[in-house]
Amino acid sequence: MSGEQRQPWIEGDLTIARDVLEAIEAHAIEAYPSECCGFLSGPASEPALLDQAERADNEADKYHKLDPVTFPRTSRDYFKINELRAAKRFEAGVATARPIKVIYHSHPNVGAYFSAEDAATFASNDTLMWPCAFIVLASRADAVVDRKLWVHVPGTNEFRESSLLVRAGR
């Protein structure tokens, strides 16, 4: 992300439409016992608003099958988004004034924390890798029991929790 303007949604304190939250929670339950993943977007004119969800394929099992030494984890404890598709999706969001503001994923049977693996995936050399924040959903077979918004701490490879408000409707 070096050289890019830091977008306001990267700072956190976001609002998600209730139907969008319900959609990503349904995704987490459907994907269980695997991790789900996807993108949340919203109008550029309302930087804090998340009003659309888009599912992405978790390619962890595909990579694990092809090269289990390099990719020892499966979709049960890891998610991998296709980086080329993600880059194109981020570009399209900017072009349509509906930027990707959040990457979401689930943690089956554990908490909604931002793991060391998540941090290593999304920050390197004290730089955020994608211009977005992150939501982690703690999922079980029949429910999402917690959700948290995480944002990058500038100048580090660390992330901190931020507030996520839920509003009715879209």
Looking at the domain assignment, is residue 46 inside a domain?
A: yes
Looking at the domain assignment, is residue 157 inside a domain?
A: yes
Looking at the domain assignment, is residue 3 inside a domain?
A: no
Give me the pLDDT at residue 165, please.
Answer: 97
Give me the pLDDT at residue 2, please.
Answer: 40
Give me the pLDDT at residue 5, please.
Answer: 59
Looking at the domain assignment, is residue 1 inside a domain?
A: no
Give me the pLDDT at residue 3, please.
Answer: 38
Whole domain around residue 143: which residue ranges?
8-167
Give me the pLDDT at residue 1, please.
Answer: 42
pTM summary value = 0.94
Looking at the domain assignment, is residue 99 inside a domain?
A: yes
Alpha helices, DSSP H, located in 67-157: 83-95, 116-122
Looking at the domain assignment, is residue 2 inside a domain?
A: no
* CA separation for the pair 94, 113 (Å, rounded): 28
Give me the pLDDT at residue 4, please.
Answer: 47
Mean pLDDT by 10 residues, the chain (170 residues): 68 97 98 98 98 97 96 93 96 97 97 94 94 97 97 96 87
Task: Write the CATH number for 95.
Answer: 3.40.140.10
120 class by beta-carbon count within 10 Å (0-12 exposed, 13-18 middle, 19+ buried): exposed
Looking at the domain assignment, is residue 103 inside a domain?
A: yes
* CA separation for the pair 79, 140 (Å, rounded): 16
* Number of domains present in the structure of the chain: 1
Give me the pLDDT at residue 169, please.
Answer: 60
CA distances to 51, 80, 101 from 47, rounded to whole Å, are: 11, 26, 8
